[in-house]
Structure 1
Amino acid sequence: MFVIILLILIGIVLFLWLIGLRIVSNNKIAVIEKWWSRKGSLEMQIIALNGEAGYQPQVIRGGIHFLTPLMYKVHISPLVTVPQGQIAYVFARDGQPLEPIQTLAKIIPECNNFQDARGFLLNGGQRGPQRGIIREGTYAFNLAQFIIITEDKIYYQPMGTKAEEATIMNMATLLKDRNGFTPVVIKGTDDKVGIVTIHDGLSLTMDDIIAPAVGNDPSYPENYHNNFQDPEKFLKAGGFRGRQYQVLVEGTYFINRFFATVELIDKTIIDVGYVGVVVSYIGPKGVDSTGEDYKHGELVEKGFRGVWREPLMPGKYAFNTYAGKIKWIPTTNIILKWISNQTGFHKFDENLKEVSLITKDAFEPSLPLSVVMHIDYRKAPLVIQRFGDVKMLVDQTLDPMVSAYFKNIGQTKTLIQLIQDRNEIQRISSSEMKAKFEHYNLELEEVLIGTPAASATDDKIEIILTQLRSRQIAIEEIETYTQQEKAAGKEKELREAESKAMQQKLLTESDINIQIQSNVGKADYQRSLQEAAKIKALAEAEAEKEARVGIGKAIAVEEQVKAYGGPEYQVVQDVMTKFTSAIEKAKIDIVPKTVMSMGGKEGQNSSFNAFEMLIDLLISEKLGVKLNPEGKVDDPRAKKIKESIIRGMERELEKEKEPVVPMASTEPPKDAP
């Protein structure tokens, strides 16, 4: 029984094998190889398009298929998946051979991205590496016809030849080296441009070093290759192999790296303060724009070969540095220093040094110089065409010209004049050298001359400079003293002004007081007028009173005079009145405690004392008579009055009953020893 069942199973398996039952999963494909055919075998092809024995162009997809093993061999292969953002490359094993000028096989649109092997071959598909690439997705390729190279894996149906496998591996390695499995990505933040080199198409002529730009106008879609992403349109537009003039700017580009390689270079950035003069290596011959008078070269318009007439202004440029070069020209002031070990910002003067002079008086100083110049941006191309660059201009033209000019100046000046007349020499040289600079399309701003210094062969200059310094110190001291003198005068004026300011308050107060006093005086004046009127009235009344009293007194006196002896009585009365008044005011005792006797000569009365002397003086004054040498009155009338006064005094004394003590005499007693 067991044997019967086993035989049945063997029979079923044999039957299924004979009818060719094949099950292909949905993620696989099957490449069919035909063992034999009544149409014979292939001669040179790999793919049998007409039912011959060999690999068949069509593939079978997932499902149940019946292919007898007596005629077919089925090769199960995976579907090919290209990841997102990657590129896969195709190598065709069968097809027409490449043309001698071809590097890559042309693109066949009718092959459905290489999934239709029959369509590929029938429409002229060529064997070898293809210009077309595979973008992301999953594909069912006939891996007997096409070898698919991805970054992670190579898909192909082994043919058993090691040479083919080595070729495929070399291709994969080359693509990895070119980073060919990812698109070309140029970021705007990197300031890069892509220089494209085409490896297919016609070759350049020997006069060209850069392939001209073709097929870059979207308005002509039949030739627009969209930045080398469509090789067929590039070649159709007449593109040449080699380095291209057209560059790639910011963006993402799916470019076949077998067809083109991309080199990233920096953008050309022209800073503020500079312009870029373009020297183009490519383009047709242009028309010279300099005119007949300019004999130093030609300037051409943009796009032609040669020096462009219009410079590039400050900014960023996607300039192909293989197609030309840009000479930077500063448009700010350029300082050139003829001073050893010193250079300006642009370093055009790094080879310059002091100008060696021989003066009129045979000194050999070294003269340091600084020249400030400017290049008009519109004339920058002329400078480049004439000198090549600014450094060459300075070394080969400006240095010998400036040095010769100041050597000539030095021969006409003594060392002292060279130092003292520096300002004048500087002014004249700036004026005269402008014309020389304009001849070279330069604008001279200023010439600055330093102090001549002693050279290695002349040690006497320092002596002259020392003398000049001493002279200058003396001059400065004189000036200092003069200024100090002026300062002292100003200080005096300041002190006077301060004093006046301090007194101004008093002056102001005085003026106010004067006005006040004036007003008070006016008031007092009015009051005095009133008082004067009052006094006048009182005086008149008093005068009237006095007159009347005086008249009365006069009559009384006259009567008294007549009664008592005439005018002498009046004198006695006046003397007595004054004498009495004096005694009263002085509070003198009428009877003195001590009587001073003047002492007379021998035989004379010693009663002449100070009291009598006072009486004599009063009588002399009233009568206008002179005293004798002894101080007494001799006039008879005066004596009479004196006696009357003395008698009157005696009567007064008697009335008071106070004895009169004679004044002590200053004369010694007669009986004194």
Structure 2
Amino acid sequence: LEYLGPMKWTAIEVAVPVIVLAILFWRSGMVRYIPNDRLGILEKLWSFRGSVSDGFIALNREAGYQPEVVRGGLHFFMPFQYSMHRANLVTIPQGQIGYVFARDGNPLPPTQTLACNTNADDFQDVRGFLEKGGQKGPQRKILREGTYAINLAQFIVLTAQSIYAVNLSSSEQNLFANMSSMISERGGFEPVVIHNAEDMIGIVTIHDGPALPDGEIIAPTVANDPNDPNFHNNFQDPEKFLNAGGYRGRQLQVLADGSYFLNRIFATVELVEKTIIDVGTVGVVVSYNGRHGADISGQAYRHGELVEIGARGVWSTPLLPGKYAFNTYAGNIITVPTTNFVLKWTKEQFGEHRLDENLSEVSLITKDAFEPVLPLSVVVHIDYMKAPLVVQRFGDIKRLVEQTLDPMVSAYFKNIAQTKTLIQLLQERSDIQRKSGEEMREKFNSYSLELQEVLIGTPRAADGQNSIEQILIQLRERQIAVEKVETYKLQERAATQERTLREKEA
């Protein structure tokens, strides 16, 4: 140091204070620069007003996180009073959704799942959010496409690409990572898109709001009219849905073709196929939902009740051919054929609708103690307006065939067989067929069915038996013998006439 001249000492004496002042100036935070594509979150280190006594955000200039954010540019502050946390602006890409979690606010009631945003719905105004009664926790309102200057000390924003937040503890990081994974598994960062070509509809389940009343399994449709002040536009506005009296649980209203920006914490969607009623059939609706309607089946019908459309029970009017956005959790559609269909009492043969796949030939016992089996077919028609009566009485058409028509038809032909010999059964098949059609038609009418025709096949021996074949052989031999007798008689007559003719000629 003794070699330093006066000039150098002077330079050192000037430089050291300047460096010290520069360090103090930088550490004091008096001047801060924020790029225009970022923002600053202020944390007040000390204040004459003390620290925050309640909550997380300092609304009254106490020490702690401040509600206002600092945007791009140069900013001047009291020395050593503020710590600046720089953060990125929240950007939601086109066609995606962001979810918001509030750290501060009023606590959620025990029955509420998501925070209400009826009044406090501006996430870029922390002070307004808290002063208007905003609630902490996951929010019902979602963020659509765009860029937002959000105070990330108060709000944590989850997107498909990242989690926007400042100063998260390890437990908070795990919490929001799990929350983001849950939303991603539900496809919640993208809208629900239902394509017309896929013939699908969306069944919605709401996870917030009052529970369904006792005895109800499907939440009724609410505020679905665009003119209604609480029109929620297919669950895309949770607040209006709940203000309209919507319930949590599976909803009666379904989502048709289109795109829907839904909060997937508030509402989950299950895609199911549309209901298609083919030409030649109608659909009888058994509704699990709706009011308890009055019976309109009439006093003469004592097999159950039919109700009007929209009531709970079997609807009196069936669905005609077409496509329907029918909620399969709110009811069941039983398809009833309205064209003529054939029921075949023949093993391993069945009609187009497979209603007779469990039917087999009718086992008979004839008057002369033979045991043939009789294949037969019955042509049936159901009036489309009587289809609900059939379903109400029997449940479905296959049950009608197996539990009612099969025993009835089998018993009828068993009774016929007991009055006929095997040979009569074979020889009188046409008469039996005509008579059976006439007599069974009335019985079918009593079941709301129209019997078109009865077709009887040839009786045959059961598997492992040949007695009927022996009878048929005897019949054939007998017929041959009869024909031979007739032939001999004709030959004898011809010979007699020939002899008489010759005698006359002689």
Same fold (TM over 0.5): yes
Bigger RCO (CA 8 Å, 6+ sep): 2
The yes-or-no answer on 1:365 pairing with 2:352 is no
Instruction: Tell me the SS of whatever aligns to 1:37.
Output: coil
Q: Distance in 1 between matches of 2:18 and 2:465?
A: 127
1:631-650 aligned at under 5 Å gives the runs none
**386, 399, 402: which is aligned to 2:406?**
399
Assess if the C-alpha contact under 8 Å between 1:94 and 1:145 holds in 2. Answer: yes
More helix by share: 1
Moved runs in structure 1, 4+ residues, more than 4 A?
A: 108-111, 469-478
1:386 CA displacement: 0.3
The yes-or-no answer on 1:124 pairing with 2:133 is yes
Q: Which residue of 1 aligns with 2:144?
A: 135
Instruction: Tell me the SS of whatever aligns to 1:386.
Output: helix
Q: Percent identity?
A: 61
Q: Which residue of 2 aligns with 1:42?
A: 52
Q: Distance in 1 between matches of 2:178 and 2:220?
A: 32
1:592-603 aligned at under 5 Å gives the runs none
Q: Which residue of 2 aligns with 1:187?
A: 195
Per the alignment, do residues 314 and 139 of structure 1 end up closer, same or farther by CA in structure 2, a change over 3 Å counting?
same
**205, 212, 230: which is aligned to 1:204?**
212
1:263-274 aligned at under 5 Å gives the runs 263-274=270-281
Instruction: Tell me the SS of whatever aligns to 2:139.
Output: strand
| One-letter amino acid of the counterpart of residue 215, structure 1 | A
1:468 CA displacement: 3.7
Q: Distance in 1 between matches of 2:176 and 2:456?
A: 74
Assess if the C-alpha contact under 8 Å between 1:194 and 1:262 holds in 2. Answer: yes
Assess if the C-alpha contact under 8 Å between 1:108 and 1:123 holds in 2. Answer: no
The yes-or-no answer on 1:312 pairing with 2:319 is yes
Assess if the C-alpha contact under 8 Å between 1:111 and 1:117 holds in 2. Answer: no
Q: Which residue of 1 aligns with 2:234?
A: 227
1:158-307 aligned at under 5 Å gives the runs 158-159=167-168, 161-220=169-228, 222-307=229-314
Tell me the alpha carbon deviations over residues 201-223 of structure 1, each in whole angstroms, 9 at most, x when there is no partner.
00012200110111111121x21
The yes-or-no answer on 1:388 pairing with 2:395 is yes
Tell me the alpha carbon deviations over residues 132-174 of structure 1, each in whole angstroms, 9 at most, x when there is no partner.
0000101111000000000010000114x32222211111011
Q: Which residue of 1 aligns with 2:441?
A: 434
**97, 104, 112: which is aligned to 1:87?**
97
1:417 CA displacement: 1.4
TM-score (norm 2): 0.91
CA RMSD of aligned residues (A): 2.0
More strand by share: 2
Q: Distance in 2 between matches of 1:443 and 1:19?
A: 94
Instruction: Tell me the SS of whatever aligns to 1:204.
Output: coil
1:418-567 aligned at under 5 Å gives the runs 418-456=425-463, 459-469=466-476
Tell me the alpha carbon deviations over residues 53-101 of structure 1, each in whole angstroms, 9 at most, x when there is no partner.
1100000001001123511111111111100000000000000111222
Specify the structure having the higher radius of gyration (Cα).
1
The worse-fitting range, judged by mean Cα deviation, of 188-197 and 14-23 is: 14-23
Per the alignment, do residues 120 and 469 of structure 1 end up closer, same or farther by CA in structure 2, a change over 3 Å counting?
farther
User: Which residues of structure 1 form unaligned runs of 5+?
Assistant: 479-673
Q: Distance in 1 between matches of 2:471 and 2:340?
A: 36
Q: Which residue of 2 aligns with 1:151?
A: 160
Instruction: Tell me the SS of whatever aligns to 1:131.
Output: coil
The count of corresponding residues between Structure 1 and Structure 2 is 476
User: Which residues of structure 2 form unaligned runs of 5+?
Assistant: 1-7, 486-506
1:59-70 aligned at under 5 Å gives the runs 59-70=69-80
Q: Distance in 2 between matches of 1:61 and 1:107?
A: 25
| One-letter amino acid of the counterpart of residue 362, structure 1 | A
Instruction: Tell me the SS of whatever aligns to 1:327.
Output: strand
Per the alignment, do residues 457 and 252 of structure 1 end up closer, same or farther by CA in structure 2, a change over 3 Å counting?
closer
Per the alignment, do residues 50 and 472 of structure 1 end up closer, same or farther by CA in structure 2, a change over 3 Å counting?
farther
1:390 CA displacement: 1.0
The yes-or-no answer on 1:374 pairing with 2:381 is yes
Q: Distance in 2 between matches of 1:475 and 1:230?
A: 93
| One-letter amino acid of the counterpart of residue 56, structure 1 | Q
1:408 CA displacement: 1.2
Per the alignment, do residues 472 and 375 of structure 1 end up closer, same or farther by CA in structure 2, a change over 3 Å counting?
farther
Q: Which residue of 2 aligns with 1:354?
A: 361
Q: Distance in 2 between matches of 1:256 and 1:237?
A: 18
Assess if the C-alpha contact under 8 Å between 1:364 and 1:457 holds in 2. Answer: no
